[in-house]
Structure 1
């Protein structure tokens, strides 16, 4: 049977797996679904149409599934979905979707949402995303696999962050960040590639060198950006990681593409974590 503390409030109608643990003074709403092994710590709140997959941990004073901070929202049945083994730390907030978006806020598997981070309505986080302390995501932000966002960073609504990117702490991100990119600053600009992350994830030398050449051609080369895109497509378009970057750039965007902020040098590349 689930281990539910006597002081917890579990509204009738909630679906709770047998191995769930709910701590003191926690609150679980009527439309919540808790998978096997979910842990809800003391004083945490899970509400709305919210599904937590197996092994999710919600730590004290975090809240998941509360209404979006959107004046157009009037109680519509939007929802939150959190993938397996994701951890949401103290005082973090995850708001449910809005009628102006897909109607769902999604967080993938094996993510870590650190203390006081905020995931706004309709955000879409893929797997193994890490948001450090005090990160703020506006509504409709999209983040790919294995992205790290440094502490205190604010990401504007509708921004896209490609997979394997890294965002330096205390950044203000207003535009889309390419896959495998590294950016920082207020307002943030690209400073190179996430080389350390690429190596840690097992990308081979050929892939890394191809990405470095493509990055230099796209963001540090001469001529118009469209001309540089065409050249990279012609010369490197069949290389998988480069093709992924090009497809990301060509996809529909509401915020536009982040560009390089200064001349790239070796130290900028190697220091990207």
Structure 2
């Protein structure tokens, strides 16, 4: 199932039942797992390793060099992609910028057309990134995050699990888990629908709401909220919320939109 116009380097490794479309280029020692489909005009760089059952869309470029002035082409870095991902038309994923580093995509992710992952980005499992979202270098996205179309992310920030980011927003601060993020570095509320869909019990959801309120609604700054949280025993999910906040670096975490006086809507719904 390899189109005669495809150009495949002799050092490349292809698994079984791989489909390679017209004018695909597979460079160097790239490794393509069983059951993958590489659609027309896609380019797979020499430093790419992908697992089974992935779809690489038309014109996508996977494993290109980083857009980093300090990068040296002789650096040995990679892109590592798990199983069952859909990476649609014209997506770009760049390899790591330092020796032995990697840009990584987990399992079951869906990157819609035009999404960009810069060097050393890390995606957890089941992340959805809508069209034309741009992730800068070293951005870390935890599992089951939804990123709306046209969002932009500054390098080195983190997005906690089950967060949802409103389309057209911009972020240069960390986004805590379970939240809905919007506009510029804003938090609109909790991803309450996403928590239900994830199977969290009513008790766990209530505790996450309590943790959220402690950070964002009690009039504390971040340091005060973390100190207050230490005085109480939390379940695993709520504790992970505070652990994420405590691990934020100098950029800190996004603030509550309602605290800016703009009357932002809260409890935004997870999109269908």
> What is the alpha-carbon distance in structure 1 between the residues aligned to residue 28 and residue 224 of structure 2?
56
Asked if the contact 1:95/1:105 (under 8 Å) is kept, the reply is yes
> What is the alpha-carbon distance in structure 1 between the residues aligned to residue 119 and residue 264 of structure 2?
38
Q: Deviations over 1:175-199 (max 9, x none)?
A: 00001111100x1301111111111
Matched residues, number: 268
> What is the alpha-carbon distance in structure 1 between the residues aligned to residue 3 and residue 96 of structure 2?
30
1:89 aligns with 2:92: no
Asked if the contact 2:24/2:39 (under 8 Å) is kept, the reply is yes
Q: Deviations over 1:70-95 (max 9, x none)?
A: 11111111100011001110011000
Task: Report matched runs for 1:194-213 at 5 Å.
Answer: 194-213=191-210
Tell me by how many angstroms 1:201 deviates.
1.0
- Taking structure 2 as the reference length, the TM-score comes to 0.94
Asked if the contact 1:14/1:29 (under 8 Å) is kept, the reply is yes
Determine the structure 2 residue equivalent to 1:80.
Answer: 79
Task: Report matched runs for 1:115-264 at 5 Å.
Answer: 115-185=113-183, 187-235=184-232, 237-253=233-249, 255-263=251-259
> What is the alpha-carbon distance in structure 1 between the residues aligned to residue 249 and residue 97 of structure 2?
19
Asked if the contact 1:159/1:254 (under 8 Å) is kept, the reply is no
Determine the structure 2 residue equivalent to 1:99.
Answer: 98
> What is the alpha-carbon distance in structure 2 between the residues aligned to residue 7 and residue 209 of structure 1?
57
1:33 aligns with 2:40: no
> What is the alpha-carbon distance in structure 1 between the residues aligned to residue 270 and residue 81 of structure 2?
29
- Taking structure 1 as the reference length, the TM-score comes to 0.94
Asked if the contact 2:188/2:265 (under 8 Å) is kept, the reply is no
Asked if the contact 1:63/1:93 (under 8 Å) is kept, the reply is yes
Q: Deviations over 1:151-200 (max 9, x none)?
A: 00001100100000000000001100001111100x13011111111111
Tell me by how many angstroms 1:253 deviates.
2.5
Asked if the contact 1:158/1:254 (under 8 Å) is kept, the reply is no
Tell me by how many angstroms 1:120 deviates.
0.4
> What is the alpha-carbon distance in structure 1 between the residues aligned to residue 185 and residue 193 of structure 2?
20
Structure 1 segments, 4+ long, off by >6 Å, are none
